[in-house]
């Protein structure tokens, strides 16, 4: 962003007191935040007094890079700014890790506490359910985990949840929660929700800790404020009541299912009566046609701060409608259109296919494979691959010997002839009951972890990861395998490259070994990676993803698949209808999907769709009717269904 428009400049110049920046899609909010940070530093604010929080590692990385570039190019700054004087820019969860690490002893943890990922939490939930004599086949562990996660995100403790329990299921969840917390405590671990809940607890309960961070961070910025939950809201309030600048858009609040509270942004002026409100409505991304469609859709919502997006860009092409008989025909039509765009010169990575539910990706993947079109399915996370998690578990177990989950995972990887019974005895401290030969194997394993820990403390993160791969025998085990093993080997070698990004990070306190700080940051970011962090900018491929995963991204051409009633807007099978709050969120989700596009949008829907094994007749989404007909091209009739001799519809 070379020049700022009037409202953007006002947002950059308004540096004192509470500020609410309502930033529409494509309105250049990242540029505003980064220029605002630059302006504060130019005014004499120490860089380390500035905190900027966003929601994904990708967004935080982009913000850091843009701020660093602005600082390096600003000639009015008379002194060089060192790495230790940079603003603190991170996600909410990374901020939590930072604060908890610095105060770990108060919580009964060490600096090297383990962060449970989703699979770790499911494993612990199943163990907790077994301790409560609850059959995982009758009560789904994932459901229990989601209920605990939502309660933690709403700021409730286990006892508060138990006191408020209204039925047997909630009482069951409260009992499992108690055992689950015991497992976390025993393993010196926290889950994702604890990273926020424990941070809020530290800031609320200990005035000295709260005052410490308030003294450090005098100017706070929070991006995507509409996506904050109740605990994140509390953290922000504890850190400051004065110079807080929040940026967001109620029209892009799409995460209520994971606790995001739209009231946080709608009530900002009540929380901060002296707040300055600045609205950014000029869009730099999309055509006039795309914005007119987006405005048509979102103006129906009631829970919002009114704004109307506009642009100086061209009108552009009208929205295309793709009508197909079945989901397989739809996928083929989308793939054919994408291929045509590519042949005409569009880069594949400038094409995105968005859908409401993950199951829709299967037919799309099949079509793109058959058409030999390069694609990337967003949601298959690098850090969740088994071989990658094995390497990470070696590092985590070396730093935290109480992490039973990590030890159980890698004690027999590669195969060392150590069975489940032996592992159980090791984890329960009964190694002395093992046969002499097995005791030697276990001692060799502990020695390996000691060697890894020494390597971590003395070498750079990339060297430590390379040491694990070689000394643990992972490289040798995969080297002589089949093609799948070859791919796994490439993945763990890629992990060395990822770790190298943290090689220059050094500890800032005496209690942290110089290189350990780098490995801590590496492990934290690996644990907190999101779908968007898997996007490879260098890979020229069409992106397939849910609308939720597309938030914050942009593409020249965007296909929105499955635009059918009860699929988008989505209605759960257990519900007769959706309520107003759910309806408005579905409309916001559609608004987000449309505004990802820079040049052209394609709406796609089918006559028949198979869901949960049942083929049903589809009705076009009501969202299509929300858009002015002059913005949409005349619809072409559907192509003949592939491989079908006759079409029978049972009314």
Residue 503, both tokens: 């090689």
Of 102, 191, 193, 223, which one is the catalytic site residue? 223
User: What whole-number distance in Å separates Cα of residue 122 and Cα of residue 259?
Assistant: 19
| Contacts (Cβ under 8 Å, ≥6 apart) of 446 | none
Of 7, 194, 224, 251, which one is the catalytic site residue? 224
Residue 449 in contact with residue 401, Cβ under 8 Å?
yes
User: Rounded to the nearest 5 degrees, what angle is found at the Cα of 83, between the Cα atoms of 78 and 88?
Assistant: 105
SS3 254: coil
User: What whole-number distance in Å separates Cα of residue 108 and Cα of residue 204?
Assistant: 17
Sign of the alpha-carbon torsion through 580, 582, 585, 586: negative
Sign of the alpha-carbon torsion through 44, 49, 55, 59: positive
Q: What are phi and psi of 143, to 5 degrees?
A: -65, -45
User: What whole-number distance in Å separates Cα of residue 340 and Cα of residue 322?
Assistant: 14
Residue 31, both tokens: 């540029």
Q: Is the peptide bond before 575 cis (omega within 30 degrees of 0)?
A: no
Residue 400 in contact with residue 114, Cβ under 8 Å?
yes
Task: Assess whether 596 carries a catalytic annotation.
Answer: yes
Task: Assess whether 224 carries a catalytic annotation.
Answer: yes
Of 7, 29, 117, 332, which one is the catalytic site residue? 29
Sign of the alpha-carbon torsion through 362, 367, 372, 374: negative
| Contacts (Cβ under 8 Å, ≥6 apart) of 226 | 248, 249, 250, 252, 253, 260, 262, 264, 265
User: What whole-number distance in Å separates Cα of residue 193 and Cα of residue 329?
Assistant: 41
Of 34, 199, 228, 252, which one is the catalytic site residue? 252
Of 30, 326, 360, 532, which one is the catalytic site residue? 30
Residue 565, both tokens: 């009633």
Q: Which residues pair with 527 in a beta bridge?
A: none
User: What whole-number distance in Å separates Cα of residue 117 and Cα of residue 529?
Assistant: 10
Residue 623 in contact with residue 590, Cβ under 8 Å?
yes
Residue 116 in contact with residue 389, Cβ under 8 Å?
no
User: What whole-number distance in Å separates Cα of residue 52 and Cα of residue 640?
Assistant: 53
What is the Rg, in whole angstroms, of the alpha carbon atoms belonging to the chain? 26
Q: Which residue has the tokens 């449970």?
A: 116
Burial class for 648, CB neighbours closer than 10 Å (0-12, 13-18, 19+):
exposed
- Helices 516-527 and 436-458 pack at an angle, to 10 degrees, of 110
User: What whole-number distance in Å separates Cα of residue 504 and Cα of residue 82?
Assistant: 13
Of 596, 598, 599, 609, which one is the catalytic site residue? 596
Residue 482, both tokens: 């089949």
Determine how β-strand 555-560 pairs with β-strand 50-54.
unpaired
First-to-last C-alpha distance (Å) of the chain: 56
Q: Which residue has the tokens 């985990």?
A: 145
State the catalytic residues. 29-30, 223-224, 252, 596
């Amino acid at each position: 962003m070379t020049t700022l428009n009037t409202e953007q400049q006002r947002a950059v110049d308004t540096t004192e007191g509470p500020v609410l920046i309502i930033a529409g899609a494509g309105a250049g909010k990242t540029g505003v935040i980064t220029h605002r940070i630059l302006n504060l530093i130019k005014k004499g604010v120490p860089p380390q007094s500035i905190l900027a929080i966003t929601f994904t590692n990708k967004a935080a990385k982009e913000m850091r890079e843009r701020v660093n570039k602005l600082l390096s190019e600003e000639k009015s700054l008379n002194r060089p700014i060192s790495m230790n004087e940079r603003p603190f820019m991170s996600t909410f969860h990374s901020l939590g890790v930072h604060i908890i690490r610095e105060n770990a002893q108060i919580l009964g943890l060490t600096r090297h506490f383990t962060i449970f990922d989703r699979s770790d939490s499911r494993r612990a939930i199943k163990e907790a359910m077994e301790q409560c004599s609850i059959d995982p086949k009758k009560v789904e562990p994932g459901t229990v985990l989601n209920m605990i996660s939502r309660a933690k995100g709403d700021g409730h403790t286990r006892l508060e949840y138990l006191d408020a329990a209204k039925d047997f299921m909630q009482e069951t969840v409260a009992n499992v929660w108690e055992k689950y917390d015991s497992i976390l405590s025993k393993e010196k671990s926290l889950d994702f929700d604890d990273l926020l809940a424990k941070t809020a607890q530290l800031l609320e309960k200990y005035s000295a800790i709260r005052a410490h961070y308030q003294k450090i961070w005098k100017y706070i910025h929070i991006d995507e404020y509409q996506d904050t939950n109740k605990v994140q809201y509390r953290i922000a309030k504890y850190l400051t009541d004065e110079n807080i600048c929040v940026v967001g858009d109620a029209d892009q609040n799409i995460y209520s299912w994971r606790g995001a509270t739209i009231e946080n942004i709608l009530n900002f002026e009540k929380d901060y009566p002296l707040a300055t409100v600045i609205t950014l409505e000029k869009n730099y991304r999309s055509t006039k046609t795309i914005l007119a469609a987006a405005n048509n859709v979102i103006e129906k919502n009631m829970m919002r701060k009114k704004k109307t997006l506009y642009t100086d860009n061209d009108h552009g092409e009208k929205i295309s409608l793709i009508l197909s008989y079945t989901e397989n025909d739809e996928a083929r039509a989308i793939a054919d259109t994408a291929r045509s765009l590519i042949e005409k010169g569009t880069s594949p990575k400038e094409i995105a296919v968005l859908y409401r539910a993950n199951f829709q990706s299967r037919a799309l993947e099949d079509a793109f494979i058959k058409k030999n079109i390069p694609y990337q399915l967003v949601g298959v996370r690098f850090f969740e691959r088994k071989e990658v998690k094995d390497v990470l578990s070696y590092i985590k177990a070396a730093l935290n010997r109480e992490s039973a989950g990590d030890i159980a995972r890698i004690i027999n990887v590669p195969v060392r002839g150590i069975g489940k019974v032996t592992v159980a005895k090791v984890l329960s401290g009964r190694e002395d009951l093992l046969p002499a030969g097995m005791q030697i194997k276990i001692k060799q394993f502990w020695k390996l972890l000691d060697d890894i820990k020494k390597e971590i403390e003395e070498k750079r993160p990339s060297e430590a990861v390379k040491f694990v791969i070689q000394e643990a025998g992972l490289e040798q085990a995969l080297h002589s395998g089949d093609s799948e093993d070859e791919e796994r080997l490439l993945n763990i070698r890629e992990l060395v490259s990822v770790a190298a990004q943290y090689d220059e990070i050094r500890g800032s306190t005496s209690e942290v070994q110089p290189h350990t700080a780098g490995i801590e940051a590496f492990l934290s970011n690996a644990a907190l990676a999101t779908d968007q962090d898997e996007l490879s900018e260098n890979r020229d491929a069409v992106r397939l993803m849910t609308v939720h995963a597309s938030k914050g991204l942009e593409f020249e051409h965007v296909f929105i698949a499955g635009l059918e009633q009860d699929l988008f807007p989505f209605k759960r099978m257990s519900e007769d209808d959706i309520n107003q709050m759910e309806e408005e969120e579905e409309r916001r989700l559609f608004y987000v999907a449309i505004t990802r596009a820079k040049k052209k949008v394609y709406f796609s829907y089918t006559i028949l769709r198979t869901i949960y094994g049942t083929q049903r007749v589809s009705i076009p989404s009501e969202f299509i009717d929300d858009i002015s007909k002059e913005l949409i091209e005349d619809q072409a009739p559907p192509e003949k269904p592939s491989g079908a001799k006759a079409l029978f519809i049972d009314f």
